[in-house]
Chain A
């Protein structure tokens, strides 16, 4: 654990310099522990792949004081409370919504059916949320379909698009420009102003994608 000042009133705790499940668990433990500590004068705590960022009130702490408190109080060995959710997400993997399926099949020499099977048979961890509200970075996608971002990002990726890029997968929570490879679409809402917490998802949750038919997708009010 290495604590560095990132600005006059923010700091960042690094746990490793590699994306791996072990690191993610450390981040989760520290993040839950930090929330439990209920430290006063903290504006923001943002966990990511290998780090946790804290924005603090400069009238409460300076960097050295908060660093010392964190070093003393932060318990990285605390049992990870099982408050992470397991979320099943229905995905329609059709060519009419999965714009890049054919291209991925060509590049990897794996059939579209097999790509769908590979993508939907794994349980993914939510490593980080950012880029857009509710945009969850999920990993790790099987090396067999590990494919890099598009050379030119699309101007609009439709809300609900399920995408892959390298070893990561994600769902676009709203219409947005984006350069990931689109393989399907879901009606599951990751970010919604009507939700109590704005989001259905948090770092540490687990996600599995279930293939559904076009009929089922349309029944769920999916839009092609």
Chain B
């Protein structure tokens, strides 16, 4: 009982909420880039909240099932064909032995999530299913998924058909406003530099992956060159010497020494993950209180 990958995906891996409690020895937390799409897929399937999922960059993921199962596809909007029949996303699909699923042309967004009822039956490694490419741990041998991979799943016979109501469907825009909590070394950025930071439009560069998103735009100066290496939060904004902001994401290094002006609100990092190079972003300040309220609302809505 399994699914078999039929094509060569561009960049797909097995992920979950992340690998915690090994960062003290330098192991990245990893985990899904877009937690909203991830939680929604598991909710559609009535899976455990932290069940594993297939994270597919740029779509292009075809597979065949050799048992009955149920899947849910969320994240980036794309053309999904089941036995050559076009289906909408953000809903569950019941599959029977021999069905072929093609996750095809991207319409908007960047990362597609394929959830499977009760998850892929692989063991957790060091507390998580997440593939962490740099460390070569988690997922399938710590690597990206490839053509011919056989992923064990459960045979499921009873289904509940479900879909996400349109008011909860995300919109993937070409421009995004990211809310920022001023923090870390913010006192080493003058008022003028902060104003510049919050009033400029930045372009996403080609250096955008699971580790970080490097931006191009107005140069931001910092009064210090670097700091004594310290741990880096998800969403932290480093300002290296060239003044071009770098937003650190799920597969970031655990510690680093560049000055940081603040941190992008977690929820907005999930939206950022769905953008692509050359798209635009703007920063907007948010108070710590407000940021905590928003984050609490987000996690409460899934607990």
Chain A interface (Cβ within 8 Å of chain B)?
4-10, 12, 17-19, 43-51, 53, 55, 58-59, 62-63, 128-135, 137, 191, 193, 197-199, 201-203
Which parts of B251-283 form the interface with A (CB within 8 Å)?
253-256, 263, 265-266
Tell me if A7 and B235 are in contact (CB < 8 A).
yes
Tell me if A8 and B27 are in contact (CB < 8 A).
no
With A58-B295, A58-B296 already in contact, the answer to whether A203 and B20 are too (CB < 8 A) is: no
With A8-B288, A130-B255, A131-B253 already in contact, the answer to whether A48 and B26 are too (CB < 8 A) is: no
With A8-B294, A133-B135 already in contact, the answer to whether A44 and B29 are too (CB < 8 A) is: yes
Query: Which residues of chain B are within 8 angstroms of A133 by Cβ–Cβ distance?
Result: 22, 25-28, 134-135
Tell me if A9 and B25 are in contact (CB < 8 A).
no
Tell me if B27 and A198 are in contact (CB < 8 A).
yes
Q: How far is the CA of A129 from the CA of B27 in the complex (A)?
A: 9
Query: Which residues of chain A are within 8 angstroms of B263 by Cβ–Cβ distance?
Result: 6-8, 10
With A47-B24, A48-B228, A49-B228 already in contact, the answer to whether A7 and B233 are too (CB < 8 A) is: yes
Tell me if A8 and B25 are in contact (CB < 8 A).
no
**8 cross-chain pairs, A with B, having the tightest CB-CB distances, nearest first:** A53-B231, A130-B255, A7-B263, A46-B231, A199-B25, A8-B291, A7-B233, A133-B26
Q: Which bracket fits the contact residues of B?
A: 35 or more
Query: Which residues of chain B are within 8 angstroms of A10 by Cβ–Cβ distance?
Result: 233-234, 263
Tell me if A62 and B292 are in contact (CB < 8 A).
yes
Q: How far is the CA of A44 from the CA of B22 in the complex (A)?
A: 8
Question: Any chain A CB within 8 A of the CB of B137?
Answer: yes
Tell me if A7 and B183 are in contact (CB < 8 A).
yes
Tell me if A202 and B228 are in contact (CB < 8 A).
no
With A17-B228, A50-B228, A129-B26 already in contact, the answer to whether A4 and B183 are too (CB < 8 A) is: yes
Q: How far is the CA of A12 from the CA of B29 in the complex (A)?
A: 18
With A10-B233, A131-B255 already in contact, the answer to whether A44 and B26 are too (CB < 8 A) is: no
Question: Any chain A CB within 8 A of the CB of B199?
Answer: no
- A–B complex contacts, Cβ < 8 Å, 6 sampled: A4-B183, A8-B181, A58-B292, A59-B296, A129-B25, A134-B25
Query: Which residues of chain A are within 8 angstroms of B253 by Cβ–Cβ distance?
Result: 130-132
Q: How far is the CA of A44 from the CA of B28 in the complex (A)?
A: 11
Tell me if B236 and A7 are in contact (CB < 8 A).
yes
Q: How far is the CA of A86 from the CA of B1 in the complex (A)?
A: 49
- CB proximity of B32 to chain A, nearest CB, Å: 15
Question: Any chain A CB within 8 A of the CB of B190?
Answer: no
Question: Any chain A CB within 8 A of the CB of B8?
Answer: no
- CB proximity of B162 to chain A, nearest CB, Å: 25
Query: Which residues of chain A are within 8 angstroms of B256 by Cβ–Cβ distance?
Result: 130-131
With A131-B253, A197-B25 already in contact, the answer to whether A58 and B135 are too (CB < 8 A) is: no
Q: How far is the CA of A95 from the CA of B95 in the complex (A)?
A: 62
Interface flags for B177-194 (1: CB within 8 Å of A; 0: not) read 000010110000000000
Tell me if A128 and B255 are in contact (CB < 8 A).
yes
Contact of B255 among A46, A134, A193, A199 (CB under 8 A): A46
Question: Any chain A CB within 8 A of the CB of B165?
Answer: no
Contact of B24 among A4, A63, A129, A131 (CB under 8 A): A129
Q: How far is the CA of A191 from the CA of B24 in the complex (A)?
A: 12
- CB proximity of B36 to chain A, nearest CB, Å: 15
Tell me if B288 and A19 are in contact (CB < 8 A).
no
Chain A residue nearest to B182 (CB atoms) is: A5
Q: How far is the CA of A78 from the CA of B54 in the complex (A)?
A: 46
Q: How far is the CA of A201 from the CA of B254 in the complex (A)?
A: 16
Query: Which residues of chain A are within 8 angstroms of B134 by Cβ–Cβ distance?
Result: 132-133
Question: Any chain A CB within 8 A of the CB of B23?
Answer: yes
With A44-B21, A44-B29, A133-B25 already in contact, the answer to whether A7 and B234 are too (CB < 8 A) is: yes
Query: Which residues of chain A are within 8 angstroms of B303 by Cβ–Cβ distance?
Result: 59
Contact of A55 among B26, B230, B233 (CB under 8 A): B233
**Residue among B26, B235, B254, B288 with max Cβ neighbours from chain A (10 Å):** B26
Question: Any chain A CB within 8 A of the CB of B229?
Answer: yes
Contact of A135 among B23, B26, B231, B235 (CB under 8 A): B26
- CB proximity of A181 to chain B, nearest CB, Å: 18
- CB proximity of A177 to chain B, nearest CB, Å: 12
Question: Any chain A CB within 8 A of the CB of B300?
Answer: yes
- CB proximity of B221 to chain A, nearest CB, Å: 21
- CB proximity of A176 to chain B, nearest CB, Å: 9
Known: A7-B263, A132-B134. 13 other contacts (CB 8 A): A6-B183, A6-B233, A8-B266, A8-B295, A12-B184, A50-B228, A51-B231, A59-B300, A131-B254, A137-B229, A199-B25, A202-B24, A202-B25
